[in-house]
């Protein structure tokens, strides 16, 4: 149970997190008072830090007087202290301009979204292709190839095309196949997989065989995240790269900071890389972190106690899209990250991606 904190104690927690995120060294009371000109003594700050430590929000990594945030400290900060965060108008205009510079092509936009998120947050990013919740039928063709083999071509309402070979019980002429295709096209347009299967139960044998196969194609299309794009792995895996981005000029300071970053972030970086490499784990985490009806930004810190594989990793995720097709985008890295900036970047890019899907599919975004 987290204790009720005073405003000053919450301020001190926020400052400790800000300091530690910028430079991962334990934060002392004297440094806080001097750097932020707090109107209290270091002794008073130490007393408040003792309360925060008792509440499990900060901890002392060794015998030094400094403190660092805990997983619960980050959660308290994100849930109760962070408030609304937005990118600057200049950043938003720059990002929007980048998207308008590329054609309205889904794959290009997913690649660009991953790149923008990684560059804006300086951590790793991921973007999944939209998952079609219910793929609906538009048109099919049946083409005789050889003997009993027939090529089935299915066109979905969203324009996707799927092909599959069908082995019939006996050879059928192209004329018959064309007649069957014309009949089914009239009956199936706009139908879902479940509706097609229900209709198939009362159809002739040949029609039933084709209808069930079409339903299987629709199901497979609706279930899968076909593509996952990532970017920014160097941001979390290479401490030298991070120090270069901090523009530290003193050589000794650069060496010390590189060593500290490697020590503090190494486990979280490896866990983030494993998550991106293991498709089954990624699908499991995304499906549980973002329920089917969840929109808006979700923050998952240290696996939220559900995934030991993510005990040192944080994720900031959002669903994008509309009722028919939705994907996921977000950023991930060690728990020591700039949550406010990550949340604002993920929210803004998700909005741009949603607008694109609405333009493609011509549907309205659902209400939160």
Asked whether 142 and 210 are in contact (CB, 8 A), the reply is yes
Are the C-beta atoms of residues 302 and 313 closer than 8 Å to each other?
yes
Total-model pTM: 0.75
* Residue pLDDT, tens place only, 94-124: 999 999 988 878 889 999 999 999 999 999 9
Q: pLDDT digit string (tens) for 308-331?
A: 999 999 999 999 987 667 889 999
Residue 364 — pLDDT band, cuts 50, 70, 90?
very low
For residue 189, what is the DSSP state?
T
pLDDT digits (tens, 9 = 90+) for 202-224: 888 888 888 888 888 887 766 55
| pLDDT score of 131 | 73
Phi, psi of 132 (to 5 degrees): -80, 115
Alpha helices by DSSP H, 173-226: 174-188, 193-200, 205-223
* Mean pLDDT of the region 166-191: 90
The yes-or-no verdict on residue 367 having pLDDT over 50 is no
Query: Which tokens is 21 given?
Result: 């995120």
- Cα 122 from Cα 196, distance rounded (Å): 47
- Give the per-residue pLDDT at 365: 42
Task: Give first-to-last CA distance, the chain, whole Å.
Answer: 30
Q: What is the mean pLDDT of residues 249-263?
A: 72
HSE of 144, CA atoms in CB hemisphere, 13 A: 14
Supply 257's token pair.
Answer: 């900071």
* Cα(116)–Cα(346) distance, integer angstroms: 10
Q: Which residues contact 76 (CB under 8 A, 6 or more apart)?
A: 2, 13, 57
The answer to whether 339 and 299 are in contact (CB under 8 A) is yes
- Contact predicate 124/333, CB 8 Å: yes
Question: Do residues 134 and 323 lie in contact, with contact meaning Cβ atoms separated by under 8 Å?
Answer: no
Q: Give pLDDT, residue 133.
A: 63
Q: What residues have CB less than 8 Å from 194, skipping those under 6 apart?
A: 215
**Nearest CA to 40 among 73, 6, 70, 72?**
6
Q: How far is CA 278 from CA 228, 260, 272, in A?
A: 11, 28, 10
Reported as a single tens digit per residue, the pLDDT across 126-163 is 999 887 666 788 899 999 988 889 999 998 876 678 88
Checking if the pLDDT of 291 tops 70, the result is no
């Amino acid at each position: 149970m987290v204790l009720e904190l005073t405003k000053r104690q919450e301020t001190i927690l926020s400052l400790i997190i800000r300091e530690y995120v910028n430079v991962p060294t334990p934060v002392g009371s004297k440094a806080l008072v001097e750097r932020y000109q707090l109107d209290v003594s270091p002794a008073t700050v130490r007393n408040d830090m003792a309360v925060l430590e008792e509440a499990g929000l900060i901890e002392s990594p060794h015998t030094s007087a400094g403190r660092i945030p805990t997983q619960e400290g980050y959660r308290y900060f994100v849930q109760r202290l962070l408030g609304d965060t937005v990118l600057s108008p200049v950043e938003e205009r720059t990002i929007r301009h980048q998207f308008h510079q590329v054609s309205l092509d889904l794959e290009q936009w997913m690649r660009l979204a991953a790149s923008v998120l990684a560059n804006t947050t300086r951590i790793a990013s991921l973007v999944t292709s939209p998952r079609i919740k219910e793929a609906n039928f538009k048109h099919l063709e049946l083409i005789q190839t050889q003997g009993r083999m027939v090529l089935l071509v299915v066109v979905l309402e969203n324009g996707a095309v799927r092909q599959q070979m069908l082995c019939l019980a006996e050879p059928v002429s192209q004329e018959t196949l064309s007649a069957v295709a014309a009949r089914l096209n009239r009956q199936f347009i706009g139908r879902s997989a479940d509706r097609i299967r229900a209709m198939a139960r009362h159809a002739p044998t040949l029609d039933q065989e084709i209808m069930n196969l079409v339903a299987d194609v629709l199901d497979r299309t609706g279930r899968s995240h076909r593509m996952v794009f990532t970017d920014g792995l160097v941001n979390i895996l290479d401490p030298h790269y991070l120090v270069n981005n901090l523009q530290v000029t003193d050589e000794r300071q650069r060496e010390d900071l590189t060593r500290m970053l490697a020590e503090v972030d190494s486990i979280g970086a490896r866990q983030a890389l494993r998550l991106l490499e293991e498709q089954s784990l990624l699908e499991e985490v995304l499906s549980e972190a973002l329920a089917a009806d969840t929109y808006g930004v979700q923050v998952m810190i240290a696996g939220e106690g559900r995934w030991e594989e993510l005990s040192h990793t944080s994720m900031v995720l959002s669903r994008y899209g509309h009722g028919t097709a939705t994907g996921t985008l977000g950023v991930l890295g060690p728990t020591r990250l700039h949550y406010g900036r990550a949340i604002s970047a993920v929210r803004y890019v998700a909005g741009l991606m949603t607008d694109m899907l609405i333009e493609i599919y011509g549907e309205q975004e659902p209400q939160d």
